[in-house]
Structure 1
Amino acid sequence: MAPEEIRIDGGIEHLAAMRLGPKGMLRWYASCCNAPLATTSNTPKFPFAGFDVKRVSDPDCLGPVTTQGFIPQADGKHKHKRLGYAVAGIVTRVLKSRLSGSWRDTPFFDQHTGQTISTPVILSKEQRKALYA
């Protein structure tokens, strides 16, 4: 999904970000209840937002599910379905956003500075380990 398609109707002051490491993607959440919201790149210049569809009350508004990632397998590994479709979709949306200039219209970054609207917390190795436990 392109970030400019995301609308936050209220509670923007609770929008917070974290990273699993110093260079990791931004994982946005509501700081009031720690509800995960979206995953974005570190810059508004690569306009991409990923969502856990199960968190959306009406997933039909997002369109059809075209790709599935990290599907657990019996051997403990994970696989992906139709990853090429996702890559093509991301590239198409990024190009459209960049060419139109709409990439600036995002709730996650300041339009003028390109900085995140809240300072991301970077998890330590211990915090990451606890997160996955």
Structure 2
Amino acid sequence: MTDIPLKCTCGEVKGIARSISPRTARRVICYCQDCQDFARKLDRADDILNAFGGTDIIQITPSQVEITHGKDRLRYLKLSEKGIYRWYTDCCKTPAGNMIGPKFPFLGIVHNFIAQNDAPNDIRGKILGPVRYSIMEKDIIKPLVTPPPEMPRAEHSADKFPLGLMIKIFTRLFLDTLSGKNKPNAYFKPDGTPISE
């Protein structure tokens, strides 16, 4: 297992993701419209999304992440009333984590928040191996470049959110909840309210 340094683009927010391995994390590329809208709201679609509109995400638990510097720069938005918490930094608009809520031991770290983003595929590839799931491919953007770039390949691909992945996530959520892996949570106060308005 490896600890991965986290850092926003400008360096104001730093942290660490602990005990990362293929057993404790899952690498996914999500092409959903919400992930694309989030990247555009941050005005960072060009460096968050791949050429097809996908976001490279590492799925871990909140207990694995500690924000060591600049926690007061974290903000969140929700794209709908029942949408997930999408955290970002107010200094440089780096995505800093996607969460269902404080009770759920689930956190998606977007590749831009990994400190060694100069060689992102090396870091993610060596630590996590290949992309395991490519989901919501129904929302893929057709690139306008010629010739089209190679689409990232995953072990499993699906037009929507695949049932097999859903079962794995909910099983893991259940087990991680029993293990208390939703705490500590760098994004929420002990009473369950977000650290930022």
TM-score (norm 2): 0.49
Residues 73/14 of structure 1: CA separation in 2 closer, same or farther (3 Å cut) = closer
CA distance in 2, matches of 1:86, 1:44: 21
Which residue matches 2:132? Answer: 66
RMSD: 2.5
CA distance in 1, matches of 2:95, 2:83: 16
The residue type equivalent to 1:47 in the other structure is: P
Q: SS of the residue aligned with 2:67?
A: coil
Map Cα deviations across residues 13-49 of structure 1 (whole Å, 9 max, x no partner): 11111111222111100111111122111x2112211
CA distance in 1, matches of 2:83, 2:72: 23
Among candidates 86, 104, 110, match of residue 189 of structure 2: 110
Give the percent of matched residue pairs that are identical in Structure 1 and Structure 2.
27
Which residue matches 2:81? Answer: 22
Q: How does 1:80-95 map to 2 (within 5 A)?
A: 80=159, 83-95=162-174
Q: SS of the residue aligned with 2:178?
A: helix
CA distance in 1, matches of 2:80, 2:64: 27
CA distance in 1, matches of 2:187, 2:85: 10
Which residue matches 2:28? Answer: none
Among candidates 85, 90, 94, match of residue 31 of structure 1: 90
Which residue matches 1:96? Answer: 175
Residues 114/80 of structure 1: CA separation in 2 closer, same or farther (3 Å cut) = same
CA distance in 1, matches of 2:112, 2:165: 18
Map Cα deviations across residues 67-118 of structure 1 (whole Å, 9 max, x no partner): 11233265xxxx548833432332233122211223121111112x111111
Does 1:53 pair with 2:111?
yes
> 2:61, 2:181 within 8 Å by CA — same for their partners in 1?
no
| Structure 1 unpaired stretches of 5+ | 120-133
Structure with the larger RCO, 1 or 2 (CA within 8 Å, 6+ apart): 1
The residue type equivalent to 1:93 in the other structure is: R
- Choose between structure 1 and 2: higher strand proportion: 2
The residue type equivalent to 1:99 in the other structure is: L
